[in-house]
Chain A
Amino acid sequence: MNIGTSSQVFYEIALSIGNEHHLKPMLKEALTAFVRKLICKAGAIYQLHEGIGMEQVQTVPRRVKGVEAIERAEQQLGEGRTAPFQIKGDNYTTYVEKIPSFGVVVLVKSGEPFAKEIVFSLRRLYKKLGQACYSCLQAEKIQKNEELYRLLVNTSRDAILLSDMAGTILYASPSAEQVYGWPQKALVGASFEQSMIFTKDREVLKDAFERIQRGESGRVSSFRIYGQDKKIRWLDHSWDVAKRGSQLGGTVHFVRNITEELKQERQYKGIIEMLPSAIYFRALDRAGEASFISPQITDLLGYFPADVVGNPDFFQSRLHPDDRDWVLESQKTVNLLERESSYAITYRMIHKEGHTVWVLNQILTVRLEDGTPDYICGILIDVTERKKAEEGLAIEEKKRERLQRLLSPAIAQEVISGNVDIEKGGELRETSVLFTDIRGFTSMSEASKPQEIVNVLNEYFERMIEVLFKYEGTLDKFVGDEIMALFGAPVSHDDDPLRAVKTAIEMRDVLAVFNEERLAAGLTPIQVGMGINTGECVAGYLGSSQALDYTVIGDPVNVASRLCSVAKTDEIMISQATYEKVKDFIEVEERPPSVVKGKSQPLRNYNVLGLKP
């Protein structure tokens, strides 16, 4: 064996090992050199995977399937035979050798086998090959990681920068150009952002730079810089110190351009703050705990957003005691999937100053595109005024009902709308009081069935009240078959006494017609007497808080009642006081004075014949 030549060959093979950082090309170059320089027929390299087995990673030539020598080696390795070993074939020898830390190499030598010293010498090369394989695997691993990091860095919307401890930028990712508005080359080598910073933010960042230089992590959530185009950009900058062992190795910075976000935020904030209601957001599982609430909460409940946000007890503690239970119960079900996406509830809350505030809470479940609930958005609207208005309306309605019983619908509406004043409370008012009473009602009642009586009375009252309201009198009350009506209370007219007389005259006329109808129908006519007196009465709402009615009381009322009782059928008896007010308009015949209970002197009275022509 020519040792000199062997050394040259080994040297050349050695130089072919490890020239590539990728395993397969490296092995291809090396194996080709082994096969070519050692004048072999074929070669193969196998990687040993712990616990899995061997994988053929390179062969020369590329396809060795069918090459008997290789297949025999593979078979024996598969059966667990441990390298090194040799297989003798017809005119060839197969060498199966270990590649330390990697696997196995198979070389097929035709003709003369290798001399022993060659076999041993080659093991040094296999060892070197093993080291190269290890390096390649490590390099590939590193490269994979690098590719991964590069992918992350290159695709990140945030700028990723690396600076030394002095704050000089050593690396800027491609997105830095977008974020900063400066080319990468302008950033790399620059002292951190300093030259670009918006003057007013210098102070804000002074502390940040000092912290970077001290090797402390941190964040500045918003500050401004100038881009190369002189436009201002808002940035959010966080940084972390990279350590190599115990030593500080530099700082990694993540910088985001938040200009658009802030612009949008400002727009949304502007919109939200312009709304007359407080808007809040909360997590699905955080009933009553807002993650955000707009400043209108201060107007609504007297608290600042900071008092509310993140405070799980706030909502519950400010609920009105009367509403607390049902509102909290309602909150529990708001997150259920089957619930409508949006619903509203109205309840009371207690203002910081102690008064009650009616709140309409419109709750919207914000969902993801696939319908999954994401979070809750709510709007709190102060509906106290509305509630008060509603209460006022309810009272008004009650009043309307009451007035409509007393007054003509037109007057009632006038009173409700405020065009006509009703004097409230007990007061002295000049009032003309009209009484009508059916003569012989008791005997009529006894002769008829109760339902018939009710029907007759209803029809009679209907016609009478129509006349009363025509003259804008007030129905004080029905007492059995008796009607008590007022003119001058609670609504005043200048001619209330005359209106009372005219009402009585027309009632008499209407009754005549009614009686003709009854006679025609074979029924008994209704006979009525009426009395009118005018004088100062105490007018106002009388009764308990549960049943309050407007009425008048006083002596004139008694006199009017007495006059009614002395009036004969179809007679309208009026007092002297009334007569004095209407004498220019009516024709009367004076009747003998009547004695009235509680009066020392008989009273003059007149029967109204009709209106003067």
Chain B
Amino acid sequence: MLFEMENTGDLNAFTDNLTKITGHSEMKAALVLVCDENGWGPEELDPLIAQQPMPVFGGVFPRLVAGKAVLNKGSIVIGVISDPQIAVIKGLSDPNADYEELIDMSIGAGFDDPSKTIADTPSQSRIGSFGQTSLVMVDAFSTRIASFIEGLFNVLGVEENYIGGGAGSLSLKQKPCLITPDGMLEDAALLVGFDWCSGVGLAHGWDKVAGPFVVTESEGNEIQTINWRPAVEVYRETLEGLLGGPVTNENFLSHAMSYPLGVARLGGSHIVRDPLAHKEGSIFCFGDVPLESHVDILHSDKERLIQAAAEAKDKALALFPPGVEPLGAFVIDCISRLLFLGEDYAKEVEAVQMDNMPVFGVLSLGEIANKREEYLEFYNKTTVVGIVGEV
């Protein structure tokens, strides 16, 4: 695994780094992580990707993590020495899409073009062992991410680790944000299987402060009513109770950042949902909130969040197979944690650093992770650490 980075957002510098990696004789593919602030779109990147002698894939994110640095601008290019298996699923907001079928088809379609191939193994034996570790990137502004994740879990199953997150812009505008061998795409998902072994840890550090509430009307990522009242009304009332002051349209989002919703799971753990907007009584989140689910209002403090990031790292280390040389640690951390932690975010980045191991990653709009032990989920406000190594 080779790393090249630049923190200027200069396309030429990125081009140099990319060609350095793709020109390396031992490299088989290049994972590219790009800051949204660079302002690179398909016009800039598509021709560049097309020129490369190997598959190039990755995403555009609000921030990047390179070691202890958090990049507002710039890019990271990671050279991979084993052939990855790449599948692209388009139409991630299509209300009629059957993602299990699309994933099946996309995986199968890879065989036709060796440059995008997943493997030359027959489909039946491959399915269920797409790679030991799968990198999953989605357009964070797609509306059917939950269905895609469910389909992914159903097709590929539990016998691999997943790590990934939502790509996109903090401007909350949907635009091409996934870098695929086909060029930059929006409203899509990128699935890359590696033969890496990995240890994945995740934690969020958010705890219940109010609830439960029942989501009485919802559709995808839109919560329309809670306890049969407009969701915003219930949420605002609760927050005002907790804060002891008024919650206005103006300060709604800044408070929401500190008081996410949590979909309850057994044992009191939550799938965190970050309210990102509200309109006509509805609250919009990154990720779906199922109808009739019970949600709590969560809160945390900086110390607790930083501690959770360290927990994620520790879990990853604990689950990484012993005796394997780690190649690096891939961190997927929610951008909202940075927004919440502010200057203290450096402490969170510090908390996920590991000795003798390169740490790189993204600040994402939603996180995807699974450690072979449970259902695959799309998380918000969560830290995911994946330590990877080649067997």
A8-B294, A32-B150, A41-B374 given; A62·B100 CB < 8 A: yes
B354 on the A face (CB < 8 A): no
Are B157 and A8 in contact, CB atoms less than 8 angstroms apart?
Answer: no
A63-B157, A66-B128 given; A35·B375 CB < 8 A: yes
A42-B158, A61-B158 given; A5·B268 CB < 8 A: yes
Are B374 and A37 in contact, CB atoms less than 8 angstroms apart?
Answer: no
B24 on the A face (CB < 8 A): no
A118 on the B face (CB < 8 A): yes
Are B373 and A42 in contact, CB atoms less than 8 angstroms apart?
Answer: no
- Stretch of B237-245, B259-267, B361-369 contacting A (4+ beta carbons < 8 Å): B259-267
Task: Produce 1/0 per residue, B338-355, CB < 8 A to A.
Answer: 000000000000000000
Are A61 and B264 in contact, CB atoms less than 8 angstroms apart?
Answer: no
Q: Which of B133-176 touch A at CB < 8 Å? A: 150, 153-159
Are B266 and A111 in contact, CB atoms less than 8 angstroms apart?
Answer: no
A39 on the B face (CB < 8 A): yes
Are A60 and B154 in contact, CB atoms less than 8 angstroms apart?
Answer: yes
| Cα distance, A15 to B373, chains bound together (Å) | 25
Closest chain B residue, CB of each to CB of A118: B266
| Cα distance, A41 to B294, chains bound together (Å) | 22
Q: Which of B154, B158, B267 contacts A39 (CB 8 A)?
A: B267
Q: Which of A1-40 touch B at CB < 8 Å? A: 1-2, 4-6, 8-9, 11-12, 15, 32, 35-40
Are B265 and A61 in contact, CB atoms less than 8 angstroms apart?
Answer: no
B301 on the A face (CB < 8 A): no
Q: Which of A5, A15, A42 contacts B264 (CB 8 A)?
A: A5
Q: Which of A2, A32, A38, A92 contacts B268 (CB 8 A)?
A: A2
Q: Which of B100, B156, B157, B377 contacts A42 (CB 8 A)?
A: B157
Task: Produce 1/0 per residue, A52-80, CB < 8 A to B.
Answer: 00000000111111110000000000000
B210 on the A face (CB < 8 A): no
Q: Which of B128, B269, B373 contacts A65 (CB 8 A)?
A: B128
- Most interface-central of B266, B294, B375 (chain A CB within 10 A): B266
Q: Which of B208-234 touch A at CB < 8 Å? A: 212
Chain B residue numbers with a CB within 8 Å of A112 are: 267
Q: How many residues of A contact B (CB 8 A)?
A: 33
| Cα distance, A39 to B265, chains bound together (Å) | 7
B67 on the A face (CB < 8 A): no
Are B128 and A63 in contact, CB atoms less than 8 angstroms apart?
Answer: yes
A4-B212, A61-B154, A62-B157 given; A41·B265 CB < 8 A: no
Chain A residue numbers with a CB within 8 Å of B159 are: 66-67
Chain B residue numbers with a CB within 8 Å of A111 are: 373
Closest chain A residue, CB of each to CB of B376: A61
Are A9 and B266 in contact, CB atoms less than 8 angstroms apart?
Answer: yes
B115 on the A face (CB < 8 A): no
Chain B residue numbers with a CB within 8 Å of A5 are: 212, 264-268, 294
A9-B266, A38-B266 given; A62·B154 CB < 8 A: yes
A110 on the B face (CB < 8 A): yes
Chain A residue numbers with a CB within 8 Å of B292 are: 11-12, 15
| Cα distance, A4 to B267, chains bound together (Å) | 9
Are A67 and B157 in contact, CB atoms less than 8 angstroms apart?
Answer: yes
Chain A residue numbers with a CB within 8 Å of B374 are: 39-41, 110
Are B267 and A2 in contact, CB atoms less than 8 angstroms apart?
Answer: yes
Chain A residue numbers with a CB within 8 Å of B153 are: 60-61
A5-B268, A62-B155 given; A12·B375 CB < 8 A: no
| Cα distance, A147 to B128, chains bound together (Å) | 37
Chain B residue numbers with a CB within 8 Å of A36 are: 265, 375, 377
Q: Which of A12, A35, A39, A63 contacts B294 (CB 8 A)?
A: A12
| Cα distance, A37 to B374, chains bound together (Å) | 10
Chain B residue numbers with a CB within 8 Å of A38 are: 265-266
Smallest CB separation, A65 vs chain B (Å): 7
B307 on the A face (CB < 8 A): no
Smallest CB separation, A261 vs chain B (Å): 48
| Cα distance, A60 to B375, chains bound together (Å) | 9
Chain A residue numbers with a CB within 8 Å of B268 are: 2, 5
Chain A residue numbers with a CB within 8 Å of B269 are: 39
The A-B contact count (CB < 8 A) is 84
Chain B residue numbers with a CB within 8 Å of A32 are: 150, 375
Smallest CB separation, B347 vs chain A (Å): 29
| Cα distance, A111 to B150, chains bound together (Å) | 21
Chain A residue numbers with a CB within 8 Å of B150 are: 32
A12-B292, A32-B150, A61-B158 given; A37·B128 CB < 8 A: no
Smallest CB separation, B314 vs chain A (Å): 15
Chain A residue numbers with a CB within 8 Å of B128 are: 63, 65-66
Smallest CB separation, A337 vs chain B (Å): 57
Q: Which of B158, B264, B290, B373 contacts A9 (CB 8 A)?
A: B264
B293 on the A face (CB < 8 A): yes
Are A11 and B267 in contact, CB atoms less than 8 angstroms apart?
Answer: no
Are B266 and A61 in contact, CB atoms less than 8 angstroms apart?
Answer: no
Are B157 and A61 in contact, CB atoms less than 8 angstroms apart?
Answer: yes
Smallest CB separation, B225 vs chain A (Å): 16
Smallest CB separation, B371 vs chain A (Å): 9
Closest chain A residue, CB of each to CB of B153: A61
- Most interface-central of A12, A32, A67 (chain B CB within 10 A): A12
B304 on the A face (CB < 8 A): no
B372 on the A face (CB < 8 A): yes
Are B373 and A41 in contact, CB atoms less than 8 angstroms apart?
Answer: yes
Task: Produce 1/0 per residue, B305-345, CB < 8 A to A.
Answer: 00000000000000000000000000000000000000000
B102 on the A face (CB < 8 A): no
- Most interface-central of B150, B157, B294 (chain A CB within 10 A): B157
Smallest CB separation, B377 vs chain A (Å): 8
Smallest CB separation, B375 vs chain A (Å): 4
Chain A residue numbers with a CB within 8 Å of B267 are: 1-2, 5, 39, 112
Smallest CB separation, A325 vs chain B (Å): 80
| Cα distance, A394 to B247, chains bound together (Å) | 130
Chain A residue numbers with a CB within 8 Å of B377 are: 36
Smallest CB separation, A2 vs chain B (Å): 4
Closest chain A residue, CB of each to CB of B155: A62
Chain B residue numbers with a CB within 8 Å of A37 are: 265-266
A41-B158, A61-B153 given; A9·B375 CB < 8 A: no
Chain B residue numbers with a CB within 8 Å of A60 are: 153-154, 375
B27 on the A face (CB < 8 A): no
B81 on the A face (CB < 8 A): no
Closest chain A residue, CB of each to CB of B127: A63
| Cα distance, A564 to B128, chains bound together (Å) | 138
| Cα distance, A32 to B150, chains bound together (Å) | 9
Smallest CB separation, A113 vs chain B (Å): 11
Chain A residue numbers with a CB within 8 Å of B127 are: 63
Smallest CB separation, A122 vs chain B (Å): 10
Chain A residue numbers with a CB within 8 Å of B155 are: 61-63
Chain A residue numbers with a CB within 8 Å of B156 are: 61
Smallest CB separation, B203 vs chain A (Å): 14
Are A6 and B158 in contact, CB atoms less than 8 angstroms apart?
Answer: no
Q: Which of B100, B158, B212, B294 contacts A67 (CB 8 A)?
A: B158
Are B293 and A40 in contact, CB atoms less than 8 angstroms apart?
Answer: no
Smallest CB separation, B27 vs chain A (Å): 32
Closest chain B residue, CB of each to CB of A64: B157
Chain A residue numbers with a CB within 8 Å of B375 are: 32, 35-36, 39-41, 60
Smallest CB separation, A69 vs chain B (Å): 10
| Cα distance, A32 to B376, chains bound together (Å) | 11
Instruction: Knowing that A39-B269, A41-B374, A60-B375 touch, tell me 12 more A-B residue pairs with CB under 8 angstroms.
Output: A5-B266, A9-B265, A9-B294, A12-B293, A32-B150, A38-B266, A40-B374, A41-B158, A42-B158, A64-B157, A66-B159, A118-B266
What are the nearest 9 A-B pairs in CB distance? A110-B373, A8-B294, A61-B157, A2-B268, A62-B154, A36-B375, A15-B292, A61-B154, A5-B268
Q: What are 12 sample pairs from A and B whose C-beta atoms fall under 8 A apart?
A: A2-B267, A5-B212, A5-B266, A5-B268, A41-B372, A42-B158, A61-B153, A61-B154, A62-B100, A62-B157, A63-B128, A67-B157
Residues of A near any B CB (own CB < 8 A): 1-2, 4-6, 8-9, 11-12, 15, 32, 35-42, 60-67, 91-92, 110-112, 118
